[in-house]
Amino acid sequence: MKPLIIVSVLLICTVLSTALYNKNVVGKQDTIDSFCIGLKPIKDIVSTSSRISFAGDAYHNEFYPISRYYLLPVYIRPYDKTTHNDTLLTVEVSQYPDSTINSILEKRHIIYTNNNNGYIYKLSTSN
C-alpha cells in the first residue's frame, strides 16, 4: 500500500478525532468524581509540598485524590461511587490554611461545611 496514503489517513484521522474530542469532551463540566476544581496547579504543588496523599485504595472505598491535575495534599474520605450524584464528599485537608481552602472553594461555587476542628469539610457542587 502507498505510504503517502497510509500516513495521510493516519494523520487525518488523528487530527479529526482530536478535534471532535476537543469540541465534545474537553468543554464538558467535570462530574463530582472527576472534581477538577482548580485548587492549585501541580507545578506549584510539587515545589511546595513534599507529599500528595492518598488514603486507602481505589476499590473498596473509592478514595480519590481531590482532582486530576490540580491536587492539594488531602485525604479524601470514602464515598460510594454509585451515589456520587448526591455530590457529597468528606475531605480532610492538611497543610493548607483554612483561608486558602475557603477562598478556593467559594470561587469554584462549592458548598462546604466545617466541623469546627479545621480539617473536615463536607463538599457538594452547587450545580
- Residue with Cβ nearer another protein (42 or 114): 42
| Residue 123 C-beta: closest distance to another protein, Å | 18
| Residue 61 C-beta: closest distance to another protein, Å | 11
- Residue with Cβ nearer another protein (22 or 102): 22
Q: Which three cell numbers stand for residue 4?
A: 503517502
| Residue 81 C-beta: closest distance to another protein, Å | 10
Residues paired with 89 in a beta bridge: 123
Can you give the binding site for another protein, defined by CB under 8 A?
1-3, 5-7, 9-10, 13-14, 16-18, 20-26, 28, 30, 34, 36, 42-43, 46-47, 49-60, 63-65, 68-69, 71
- Whose CA is closest to 109, among 25, 40, 41, 35? 35
| Residue 29 C-beta: closest distance to another protein, Å | 9
- Residue with Cβ nearer another protein (42 or 88): 42
In angstroms, the CA 109 to CA 124 distance is: 9
